[in-house]
């Protein structure tokens, strides 16, 4: 038995540049599809799609679905499905809206814009979402009711529970501190955005070279140095480019003037500034990092993927698959409640149709992102990219003037196409 080489494989042993870079071809295909989609819509909208303003709006519109898609990855990996996420989002939103507009003022005297109103509201919403999700998981794991049936029933139940909680009314306005998580009402500004962007770029570069050192230390094959440098440049460039685009979206002069007047100050002549990184996007990044760590670095993550790969073998090896199901759906419920914070804060109020058809969008995002419906395979970053593709498709069609029914037809067709492509891809690669 010989030791694995610690040096890069010879160039003649490689078939392509992508193989030398060791890039995921499926991920590259998704990125390519997103680029082509963006260019196509930009042409059809006379250059309006790829403006800093639209990219900013597209980003904040993606966050809610992307957060839920992170949880849906774990659900689908374990060979389940959750059709109730849109309805659960509506119920969580209703609970939080009623908490900050009626319950807290009546019981504790905490009115809107009180420092404790937003934190208490968010905690109540997350607890409620987690408990409902755990209840779904208990029905599925311990009573052996199929997830399809449980969550289909949940779709009907929780959509109407949300309606009864608000008596069918739109609830608003919401707390100003709560609205910070909605997007345009909560941004970091150019300076702090550049600071975080620089830290993120440095972290990405460190991660690439740290992984290389770990591979070399354990005598695993490593990529050529030029490949590591290329990946580092691409990663840092993508992060800093994204920050530059967000900072390029300028705050309207009228809004700036009102902000200065609210502070009792006079706006300097010619003063301009950009919005920068939205707090909601920062929240998504934190959740994505946390979920990725869970998937790759924790026992829970290993149990999730082991169960998805072979449930019978996982149970025989000592994994409590029933409790694991409860944990996964509880996590899904918590992430759905966080999405409700983002969605209702972006709208500025709670509406009865909030979260409608989000189940389709979330499942489509996870599947387009490479999560196998057969279980055992899925990535968090893939699901987020899938959510971005779905939102870009919808936003682009809306800007072109496609009616909503036709938009849903296209989205549904894309979902079926994505599943078919996934089946073909896995057959050709042998990854089944």
Instruction: Please write down the HEC assignment for all residues of the chain.
Output: CCCCCCCCCCHHHCCCHHHHHCCCHHHHHHHHHHHHHHHHHHHHCCCCCCCHHHHHHHHHHHHHHHHHHHHHHHHHHCCCCCCCHHHHHHHHHHHHHHHHHHHHHHHCCCCCCCCCHHHHHHHHHHHHHHHHHHHHHHHHHCCCCCHHHHHHHHHHHHHHHHHHHCCCCCECCCCHHHHHHHCCCCECHHHHHHHHHHHHHHHHHHHHHHHHHHHHHCCCCCCCHHHHHHHHHHHHHHHHHHHHHHHHCECCHHHHHHHHHHCCCCCCCCCCCECECEHHHHHHHHHHHHHHHHHHHCHHHHHHHHHHHCHHHHHHCCCCHHHHHHHHHHHHHHHHHHHHHHHHHHHCCECCCCCCCHHHHHHHHHHHCCCCCCCCCCCHHHHHHHHHHHHHHHHHHHHHCCCHHHHHHHHHHHHHHHHHHHHHHHHHHCCC
Q: What is the pLDDT of residues 224-278, one digit of tens each?
A: 888 888 889 999 999 999 999 999 999 888 888 887 877 788 888 878 888 999 9
Phi-psi region of 355 (alpha: psi -120 to 50; beta: other; left: phi over 0): left
Q: Inform me whether the pLDDT recorded for 108 exceeds 60.
A: yes
**C-alpha to C-alpha distances, 246 to 22, 50, 78, 184, 399, nearest whole angstrom:** 30, 12, 37, 11, 20
Q: What pLDDT is recorded for position 17?
A: 59
Provide the percentage of residues in the chain whose pLDDT is more than 90.
Answer: 58
Q: 278 — phi, psi (to 5°)?
A: -70, 145
Q: Is 81 left (phi over 0), alpha (psi -120 to 50) or beta?
A: beta
pLDDT at 430: 64
Q: Is the pLDDT of residue 399 over 60?
A: yes
pLDDT at 5: 44
Instruction: Give mean pLDDT, residues 75-81.
Output: 95
What mean pLDDT comes out for the span 102-106?
88
Confidence check: pLDDT of 358 > 50: yes
pLDDT digits (tens, 9 = 90+) for 122-150: 999 999 999 999 999 999 999 999 999 99
Question: pLDDT value at position 199?
Answer: 95
- Average pLDDT of every residue of the chain: 88
Residue 223 vs residue 75, higher pLDDT: 75
What is the distance of C-alpha 194 from the center of its chain?
22
pTM comes to 0.90
Whole-angstrom Cα distance, residue 391 to residue 226? Answer: 35
**Each residue of 249-279: b (16+ CB within 10 Å) or e?**
bebeeeebeeeeeeeeeeeeeeeeebbbbbb
327/426: higher pLDDT: 327
Q: Which of 325, 302, 279 is nearest to 139 (CA)?
A: 325
Least confident residue range of 238-252, 279-293, 321-335, 366-380 = 366-380
Q: How many CB atoms lie within 10 A of CB 289?
A: 12
Percent of the chain with pLDDT strictly greater than 70? 94
pLDDT band at 18 (very low <50, low <70, confident <90, very high): low
């Amino acid at each position: 038995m010989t030791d694995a080489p610690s040096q890069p494989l010879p160039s003649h042993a490689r078939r392509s540049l992508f193989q030398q870079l060791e890039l995921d071809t499926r991920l590259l295909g998704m990125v390519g599809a997103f680029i082509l989609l963006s260019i196509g819509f930009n042409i059809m909208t006379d250059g309006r799609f790829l403006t800093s303003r639209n990219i900013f709006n597209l980003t904040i519109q993606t966050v809610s679905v992307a957060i839920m898609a992170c949880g849906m990855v774990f659900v689908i990996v374990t060979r389940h499905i959750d059709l109730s996420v849109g309805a659960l989002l509506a119920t969580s939103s209703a609970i939080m809206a009623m908490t900050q507009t009626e319950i807290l003022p009546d019981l504790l005297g905490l009115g809107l814009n009180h420092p404790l109103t937003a934190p208490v509201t968010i905690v109540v919403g997350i607890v409620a979402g987690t408990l409902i999700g755990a209840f779904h998981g208990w029905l599925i794991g311990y009573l052996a009711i199929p997830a399809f049936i449980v969550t289909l029933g949940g779709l009907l139940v929780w959509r109407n529970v949300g309606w009864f909680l608000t008596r069918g009314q739109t609830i608003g306005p919401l707390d100003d501190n709560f609205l910070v998580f909605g997007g345009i009402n909560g941004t970091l500004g150019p300076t702090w955005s550049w600071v975080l962007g620089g830290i993120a770029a440095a972290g990405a570069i460190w991660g690439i070279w740290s992984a290389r050192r770990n591979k070399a230390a354990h005598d695993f094959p490593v990529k050529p140095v030029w490949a590591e440098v290329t990946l580092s440049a691409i990663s840092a460039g993508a992060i800093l480019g994204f920050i530059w685009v967000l900072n390029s979206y300028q705050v309207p002069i009228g809004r700036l003037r009102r902000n200065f007047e609210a502070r009792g100050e006079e706006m300097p002549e010619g003063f301009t500034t950009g919005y920068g990184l939205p707090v909601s996007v920062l929240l998504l990044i934190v959740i994505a990092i946390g979920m990725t760590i869970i998937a790759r670095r924790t026992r829970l993550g290993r149990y999730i993927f082991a169960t998805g790969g072979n449930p019978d073998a996982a149970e025989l090896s000592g994994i409590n698959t029933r409790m694991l199901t409860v944990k996964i759906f509880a996590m899904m419920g918590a992430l759905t409640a966080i999405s409700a914070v983002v969605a209702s804060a972006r709208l500025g109020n709670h509406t009865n149709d909030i979260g409608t058809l989000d189940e389709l969008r979330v499942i489509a995002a996870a599947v387009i992102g490479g999560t196998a419906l057969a279980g055992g395979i899925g990535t968090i970053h893939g699901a987020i990219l899938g959510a971005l593709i779905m939102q870009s498709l919808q936003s682009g069609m809306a800007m072109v003037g496609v009616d909503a029914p036709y938009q849903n037809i296209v989205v549904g067709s894309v979902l079926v196409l994505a599943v078919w492509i996934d089946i073909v891809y896995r057959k050709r690669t042998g990854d089944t």
